[in-house]
Structures are given as structure tokens and as C-alpha cells.
Amino acid sequence: MRAILIDPIEKSFTEVDYNGDWKTIYKHLDCDLFDVVFTDFGDIYLDDEGLMKSDQQFFHIRGMSQPFAGRGLVFGPTDDEGGTTPATISIEELELQVKFMTPKKVMEMFS
């Protein structure tokens, strides 16, 4: 299943193949717990403990109220049965929605 990995450290977008095993989400995100946010273009899986890690980098999605810490894994919108669907947004379209941010920029956003 097609997914897109957002990496704010590398400032990159990479298409990855999700095999349907939720344990691989941990590997893609390099985390122990994940959470999901819902956007107009799909669901983004995030490191639920990202704010507790040192030397973290961030990204912000246009239209969202807050930036996110660490990597994000983009899928399509949840289906009618609550299942994960393949990402439908292109990397080029996603790049227009994402802004990479340093911790300093995040702090400025809220001051």
C-alpha cells in the first residue's frame, strides 16, 4: 500500500510501501507509540511521544493549528470501515502543504 514518509530532519518526502502490518508504522516513524491526525487529503500517522524527544525537528501542514514533531506517515482517508487506504496525494502536492520548522520557529509561532 502506498504511503509517503515526511522526514523533517532530512527535509524529505519519500514514497514507501506499507505492508499492512501496523508494526511497520513504528519502524517508518522510528517511534514506540503513534497517533493519527486527519486532514483533507488523508490520515497522517505521527510519533505520539515526539515532543518528548530532544533534538527534534517539526513540520506543519497548511490549515492545521499546530506543527508536528518528528516523522509523519501519510495515507489516504480512512475508509467506511475504519481501515487504512493508500495515499492518493502526490509528493508534489504534499510538498505544497508542508512547511518544515526548527524548534526555534515553533516557539516563535506560539509567542
Encode pLDDT of 69-80 as tens digits. 999 999 999 999
Encode pLDDT of 64-103 as tens digits. 999 999 999 999 999 999 999 999 999 999 999 999 999 9
Cα-based angle 71, 74, 80 (whole degrees, multiple of 5): 140
Q: Please give the tally of structural domains in the chain.
A: 1
Domain with 36 in it: 2-109
Q: Please state, in angstroms and as integers, the Cα–Cα distance from residue 99 to each residue in 4, 85, 86, following that order.
A: 15, 24, 22
What pLDDT is stored for residue 7 in this prediction? 97
Q: Please state, in angstroms and as integers, the Cα–Cα distance from residue 51 to each residue in 1, 4, 29, 84, 106, following that order.
A: 28, 21, 14, 25, 12
Encode pLDDT of 39-48 as tens digits. 999 999 999 9
